[in-house]
Amino acid sequence: MSLYALQKFLYDLNRDSSVQDHYRRDRKTVLNGYRLIEEERRAIDEGDLGLIYVLGANGQLLMHFAAFLGVPWAAYIQALRDGVSRYGPVRAGVYAMTTSIDEKVAGV
């Protein structure tokens, strides 16, 4: 998995107006500048916030991508929940899940 490339894209998109403009004009070409696996590329291209989260993207980066896409905050949070329900536990990164979806941790 190329989590670094995924997060680098999100970081660049958040910080660089030329990347934002390029993304708006030609999504596929701008993504060619990042070493993304097909699943990451598809998730970005489709704006699948839940899958991007499950792939391990940092929520601080991802929330700005959601805002860029025009996704309201409550819908963003729901997309993350839906992503875990649909694709399974977060696979990598700081949010990687070490328990099953239904398992309680510390009684919660």
Q: What are 65-77's pLDDT values in tens digits?
A: 999 999 999 999 9
Which residue carries 């409550």 as its tokens?
A: 74
Taking only the tens place, the pLDDT of each residue in 26-75 is 988 999 999 999 999 999 999 999 999 999 999 999 999 999 999 999 99
Measured between alpha carbons, how far is residue 83 from residues 18, 53, 59, 67 in Å?
Answer: 29, 7, 13, 17
Cα–Cα separations (whole angstroms), residue 79 to 6, 12, 19, 92: 18, 22, 24, 18
79: its two tokens:
């997309």
Neighbour-count burial of 21, counting CB atoms closer than 10 A to its CB (0-12 exposed, 13-18 middle, 19+ buried): exposed
What CATH fold (topology level) applies to the domain 3-87?
Protocatechuate 4,5-dioxygenase; Chain A (1.10.700)
Cα 86-35-62 angle, rounded to 5 deg = 45
